[in-house]
Amino acid sequence: MTVIFSKKCEYGLQAVLYLAANMFDDVVRVDVIAQELNIPKEFISKILQSLREHGIIDSKKGKTGGFALAKSPSQIKLIDIVEAIDGLSIFNSCVLGFPNCNPDHPCPVHDKWGKLRTEAYKMLSEETLDKFRDKTLDKIKNL
C-alpha cells in the first residue's frame, strides 16, 4: 500500500523504470512487461496507453508491437509519470482529505505533511529515469 500514489501510478512508475532500466532498442510486448513486473496484463496495457498519450512512451501496433520510451531516460523525470497518471493534486491537497486545509486553518498533520510533501515533490522533479537503472534491475530480479 502506498501513502501517496494510486496503484495505477505505482504500476506506471514500475513499467517506465523497467523500460528505462533494460534500455531496449526495440519495443517490448505488454505481456513481457506484465509478466516481469507481476502486473495484470489488461491493467498495465491501459496504463501504458495513457503514458503514450502523454508522450512518455511510444507504442507500435501489430504482431511485433509493444512499448518503448519516447525519449532518453535522462529526459524523463519521475514527476512526469506521476503527473500523467495521478496528476499533481496530491502535492496541493490535504493528506487527510479535510476540505479547506491551509496554513490558516491546518489539519492535525498539516505542517509535518507539508514538509514531507515538499521533499517528495522535489525528489520526483529532480530525478530522471537513468539514475535508477541498476537499482531497478536488482529489484526486478528479486520479484
Is 1's pLDDT higher than 60?
no
Q: How many beta carbons lie within 10 A of that of residue 19, not counting itself?
A: 26
Vertex 22, ends 136 and 7: CA angle to 5°? 50
Predicted confidence at residue 136, as pLDDT, reads 82
- d(C-alpha 44, C-alpha 92), whole Å: 27
Q: What confidence tens digit (pLDDT) does each residue in 67-92 have?
A: 999 999 999 999 999 999 999 988 88
pLDDT on residue 25 = 65
List the domains of the chain with CATH numbers: 7-141 (1.10.10.10)
Residue pointed to by grid coordinates 537513468: 130
Residue 2 has pLDDT above 70, yes or no: no
User: pLDDT digit string (tens) for 17-62?
Assistant: 999 988 766 889 999 999 999 999 999 999 999 999 999 999 988 8
Kindly report the average pLDDT of the chain as a whole number: 90
Band of residue 138 on the pLDDT scale cut at 50, 70, 90:
confident
| Cα separation values, 10 from 14, 25, 45, Å | 6, 24, 14
